[in-house]
A and B are shown apart, each in its own frame.
Chain A
Amino acid sequence: MDLSSINPILLLASLMVAATPLLLAAVGELVVEKAGVLNLGVEGMMITGAICGFAIAVNTGDPFLGVLAAAGGGAVLSLLFALLTQVALANQVASGLGLTLFGLGLSSLIGQGYQGIRPPPFPKLNIPGLSDLPVIGRILFSHDLMVYLGLIIVTGVWFMLKYTRAGLILRAVGENHEAAHALGYKVVRIRIMAILFGGACAGMGGAYISLIRVPQWTEGMTAGIGWIALALVVFASWKPWRVLLGAYLFGGVTVIQLNLQAAGVAIPVEYLAMSPYLITILVLVIMSADKSSAPASLGRIFHASR
């Protein structure tokens, strides 16, 4: 065992990378749940985004087009969920679970023939001045664009929910859809838009894994990140900053346990591999002990009757 082989700077730098897929998926789901919809299909939308992004990036040679395609793929899949739950008024839990299974199957189908290929590399951002700073530059300012995009989305979601009228209306719809309807807000339309946003975010999160993090295509490569994203939203008490914190915690523990594995620590690999999931949930459970509660209409079907 040689702990000295772990480079703390590299570790912190890779933490942000490891956290990004989870962050993207979770912040998208947060918006969906704030609108009062429980979409359990995050895992399915992520893996669909992963393969859509991968296929387009490989075929066009442009990783940015790949990311766009991933967002589109996730959104299209979520549109299926939106039609089922918002138009056909199907049960959200069942529809979400179905969406995950469908997404996993669809992605293996699309993924036939993409195994073992390397996607075009994603350019790292190089900010003159900032990226050259000692330590800080390496940790904060020399990542790919997607890492920053994730941060921008979190900030944007936080700002929108807290300070804008659109955010207030979104929260109102999630809090009491009957009242929102009575005041003349278009509950179904707002929810469908939130679901699409959530799908696009999940898709980009998936593409981050297949295009940047790994980068190659394997079936089922999202490995439960979508489920962790769902748990993260709940335990983060539907607050964007806590989602960020939880995602970085998860990313940090993931990176540490990988490093520990590499350093040959005498803990069985299985325990190390489960530690990110365990520790993230534990910390968030403790943090969510305050009284912030779920959006009151979460998971309830809305029908403008009478």
Chain B
Amino acid sequence: MTAPVLSIQGLTKAYPGVVANSDVSFDVMEGEVHALLGENGAGKSTLVKMIYGLVKPDHGTMTFQGKPYAPAEPRAARAAGVAMVFQHFSLFDALNVAENVALGMEKPPRLADLAGRIREVSETYGLPLDPFRIVGDLSAGERQRVEIIRCLLQDPRLLIMDEPTSVLTPQEVDILFQTLRKLTAEGVAILYISHKLEEIRALCDTATILRLGKKVATCTPADTTARQLAEMMVGTVLHTPERSGRALGDVALELTEMSVRSPSAFGCSLKRISFAVRKGEVLGLGGVAGNGQDELLGALSGELRSAPEMVRVHGNPVGALGPIERRGIGLLCAPEERLGHAAAPDMSLTENAMLTGSLREGLERRGFLDWGRAKGFAEAIIARFDVRTPGPGNAARSLSGGNLQKFVIGREVMQRPEVLVVNQPTWGVDASAAAAIRQALLDLAAGGTAVVVISQDLDELMEISDRFGALNEGRLSRIRPTSELNIEEIGLMMGGAHDMEVAHV
């Protein structure tokens, strides 16, 4: 741990309309795990792409192992000893493991020899993998092993990992960390990008924090709290969402013995779900994914119909109404899947704003669309929810996950809903954006809206919900006030140890 493997001086890269990196300098030492931290859009990806030769810097220099380093393309970077494990899209589903590995190497040996070396490396580092399996059949963890082995076969001196744990189970994360520690013991330096602050505190020796393209700090994560790290990323004091004491109003949304068949063969049908949410109340619904969350959102949004009296808004039966009629009476929903469900990926933000806002925001006049007002509405969402995009004319697909999430939640919040249902509102969103979204939901509740939050993030539910229930195999547990629950009880509720008593308000 003496010499810097990679030294970066004053790297700058500007894209039209946005400076991705501005004068970034830091060193990565031999044998250390160096974390690169920052919010969505802080310039982490651009920075590592410059190191890997995918993007050329406008200014600045790099030194790799003491020599000037300016890779013109990934090939040159690999030849120098830099390898990268991508967050996504770098494997070929239809090809087998050995072929995938061969594609990432400069001079691959014959496939049979390569298969032998893959077995060898996979055993050395505790990453079991069959070289002849088709990658499309592998689990997320196994796919990542393919990427890592592809890198390891080139004896890298620097390994770049872009959010490697976002798709892994906790057990797979443990295996990955063991492998990484083994590598650093051999003197390999690792540049590690992640949003998961606790993970970084456990694994990384040093952290460089980027904000809006600039380096703001270098610190030792083990000596810093997760909160301090998050605040350095955001640049302001991170405030925990506050709920103001509020009086609960009348029942706004009521479900009575609602049963709905799942439209998908692999879905989970809803079985006799009953609950009521009052004005100004936040109801949190937890549970392991695939226990009816999507179906419940669909049944509330109107995508799945039920008997009219099973769903009531302000006492009026709405179970047979479709999404548009339900929006008309103030029942709005924001589904989990951002691209393709909550937003149309290839349409602009203005068009996406029009799609759900046309009725309540008056963007439609006698069947004609008022694009001027739709643009104004989209701009208002972008301004209020700090959505980072050059403008409302950009396609939804071009936004990062966190920014699009802010947009689709903001779009519903701004329509002054009477009842708002959100599914996984902060999934894949960085700490400050998540806090902003939660605060917006709480503010909405303070204004008298009934809010239903479906989420798999228990901390989130504990933080913002007044009462909590868990979905298990399409059934809802008894709903209890959050203040009297602890994690153990919640675990039992999620596991299905629910008493079948109908929840009363």
Contact = CB atoms under 8 A, between A and B. Distances in A.
Interface of A: 165, 168-169, 171-172, 175-176, 178-180, 182-185, 293, 295-296, 306
Interface in B51-101: 53-54, 73-75, 78, 86, 89-95, 99
A184 B150 CA distance: 14
A182 B54 contact: yes
A176 B91 CA distance: 8
> Counting chain B CB atoms within 10 Å of each CB, which of A169, A183, A185 scores highest?
A183
B74 A176 contact: no
B74 A296 contact: no
A168 B91 contact: no
B111 to A, nearest CB: 9
B99 A168 contact: yes
A185 B104 CA distance: 10
Nearest to B90: A179
A180 B102 CA distance: 12
Contacts of B89: 176, 178-179, 182
A175 B102 CA distance: 15
Contact of B92 (A165, A175, A293, A306): A175
14 contacts: A168-B95, A168-B102, A171-B94, A171-B95, A172-B92, A175-B94, A176-B91, A179-B86, A179-B92, A182-B89, A183-B104, A184-B75, A293-B94, A296-B93
B86 to A, nearest CB: 6
Interface bracket on B: 20 to 34
A182 B103 contact: no
B94 A179 contact: no
B363 to A, nearest CB: 30
Interface of B: 45, 53-54, 73-75, 78, 86, 89-95, 99, 102-104, 108
Given A168-B102, A184-B73, 16 more contacts: A165-B108, A168-B95, A169-B103, A172-B92, A172-B103, A175-B92, A175-B93, A175-B94, A176-B91, A178-B89, A180-B92, A182-B89, A182-B90, A184-B74, A184-B75, A293-B94
A183 B75 CA distance: 8
Query: Which are the 4 A-B pairs with shortest beta-carbon distances?
Result: A184-B74, A179-B90, A175-B92, A178-B89
A93 B479 CA distance: 54
Contacts of B104: 183
Contacts of B73: 184
Contacts of A171: 92, 94-95
A175 B45 CA distance: 24
A183 B94 contact: no
Nearest to A168: B99
